[in-house]
DNA sequence: GCGCCAAGTCAACGGGTGTTGGCATACGTG
DNA sequence: CACGTATGCCAACACCCGTTGACTTGGCGC
């Protein structure tokens, strides 16, 4: 079974520092850089290893500090996970997009989002194994996918089901392509994926109920 | 975080015993019932908890024997997992199904397969977290989905990509419905899911390349 | 009836885990 | 400059893990 290779020291950028600052709801402190480094390392580890195999000791090592600091700043492993898994899908506003291009727009956005960093891979990895992770995914879906779909959905009461259908296709492709690495799914170009999936999403968005 | 509740003692049926017997490539031995009990308990635990959280001690407790027996019969945890995760999708032969009904047939079959027991949930759970599990899923996809799709695919070289697209939609719905428990996905009836997904799968099966 | 071998139990090992408390140190403030 | 506090490290705790080896039991063939 593959050992978890050591990860390069996680780079905590300005956004991370700001996030770590506001997360504590206070003005800047001397330890914000450390908090941010922990958060960045935790994100990487959770994404790469899942909740169980991502150890606090490994996260601390990546961040270059002592494990006890993690406990001091985030309480326990669950608290660290909660802080590290704040997800912003940046789902696009579809109301300004021509009706026929909305499917393609959604698919392309999420492909790019998925390839930019390992955040979503991590979310999926933890969501599948861990109930707290699953609850977080349900929250992200409800709060960030729901409104986007509802805004362009003819009948408001159909919106949740349509959103779930769209999520199933997009998540399923991400699963095959970025997590399971099924060779044919990996082999498709980004444009090919959009070409295949866009009509599906478009139909889930607008077609009559079957 | 949810503790893993104790599981009821896993029932090892005749098929399990036979499987445990043939797995060792020998004629019946006195320990076949024990081997089968271990296997059944392991399947349940891996499905419910994933690879890391499913401990050999818990599996042995469920099977009502000593942990060292697991080691004696299956070598180590990886060996146990390999023996416990032999999957048979029983994917239907589509050549006898009318061309227009193949999508619906596939979707309905996999929904039923997924709901019958927790085997596939377990496969997904382990496949997402664990490289050995992912490799196993790639093998199942290649050996059991590939041929079924190729048999009804006009151009043979397109078969793998089409199979991957179909897998992405079916796995994605299973993920949302049976693993993440997204409320709108859970709320759909089985017929509604078939009604929505069948045209998608049908198109992946037969449509011109985009 | 006796010996042999499979089947199973028991206790322990070395290591890794999350988590805790005490101690040194550098900083910001009066 | 002195003091309190935030920051960080160190060592340890109690627990659980996979795995091992020695020991006991029970059934079967000769």
Q: How far is CA A80 from the centre of its chain?
A: 16
* Predicted confidence band of residue B29 (pLDDT cuts 50, 70, 90): confident
- What percent of chain B is predicted at pLDDT more than 70? 87
Q: Is B139 on the interface with A (CB under 8 A)?
A: no
- Is the per-residue pLDDT at A103 higher than 50? yes
* Predicted confidence band of residue B14 (pLDDT cuts 50, 70, 90): low
**Which residue has 């291009």 as its token pair?**
A101
Q: Is A152 on the interface with B (CB under 8 A)?
A: no
Residue B37 sits in the same domain as residue B109? no
Name the nucleotide with the smallest C1'–CA separation from A31.
D7
User: What's the whole-number average pLDDT of chain B?
Assistant: 89
* Predicted confidence band of residue A11 (pLDDT cuts 50, 70, 90): low
Residue A8 lies in a domain: no
Residue B7 lies in a domain: no
Residue of A nearest to B52 (CA): A52
Residue A41 lies in a domain: yes
Residue B111 sits in the same domain as residue B78? no
CA closest to C17 C1', residue: A55
CA closest to C20 C1', residue: A68
What pLDDT shows up at residue A61? 97
* Predicted confidence band of residue A29 (pLDDT cuts 50, 70, 90): confident
Taking the C-alpha atoms of residue A145 and residue A202, their distance in angstroms, rounded to an integer, is 15
- Is the per-residue pLDDT at B184 higher than 70? yes
Cβ distance A38 to A60 under 8 Å? yes
Taking the C-alpha atoms of residue A31 and residue A17, their distance in angstroms, rounded to an integer, is 10
pLDDT (tens digit, 9 = 90+) per residue, A32-82? 999 999 999 999 999 999 999 999 999 999 999 999 999 999 999 999 999
Q: Which among B84, B107, B123 is the end of a domain?
A: B84
Residue B177 sits in the same domain as residue B108? yes
Q: How many domains does chain A have?
A: 2
Q: Which among A84, A114, A133 is the end of a domain?
A: A84
CATH code of the domain covering residue A73: 1.10.10.60
Residue A89 lies in a domain: no
Residue B198 lies in a domain: yes
Residue B196 sits in the same domain as residue B115? yes
Q: What domain range is A199 assigned to?
A: 99-206
Residue A74 sits in the same domain as residue A123? no
Residue B93 lies in a domain: no
User: What's the whole-number average pLDDT of chain A?
Assistant: 90
pLDDT (tens digit, 9 = 90+) per residue, B119-139? 899 999 999 988 889 999 999
* Predicted confidence band of residue B154 (pLDDT cuts 50, 70, 90): confident
How far is the CA of B206 from the CAs of A163, A203, B90, in angstroms?
26, 17, 22
Residue B143 sits in the same domain as residue B61? no
What pLDDT shows up at residue A1? 45
């Amino acid at each position: 079974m593959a050992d978890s290779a050591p990860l390069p020291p996680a780079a905590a950028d300005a956004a991370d520092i700001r996030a770590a600052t506001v997360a504590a709801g206070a003005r800047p402190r001397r330890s914000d850089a450390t908090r941010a480094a922990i958060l960045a390392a935790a994100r990487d580890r959770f994404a790469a290893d899942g909740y169980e195999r991502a150890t606090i000791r490994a996260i601390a090592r990546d961040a270059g500090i002592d494990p006890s600091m993690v406990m001091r700043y985030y309480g326990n492993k669950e608290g660290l996970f909660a802080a590290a898994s704040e997800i912003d899908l940046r789902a696009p506003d579809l109301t300004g997009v021509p009706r026929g291009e909305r499917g393609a727009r959604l698919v392309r956005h999420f492909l790019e989002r998925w390839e930019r960093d390992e955040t979503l891979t991590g979310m999926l990895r933890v969501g599948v194994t861990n109930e707290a992770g699953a609850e977080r995914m349900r929250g992200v879906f409800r709060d960030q996918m729901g409104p986007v779909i509802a805004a362009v959905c003819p009948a408001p009461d159909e919106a949740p089901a349509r959103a779930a259908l769209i999520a199933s296709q997009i998540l399923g492709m991400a699963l095959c392509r970025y997590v399971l690495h099924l060779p044919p799914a990996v082999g498709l170009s980004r444009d090919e994926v959009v070409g295949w999936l866009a009509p599906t999403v478009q139909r889930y968005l607008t077609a009559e109920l079957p």
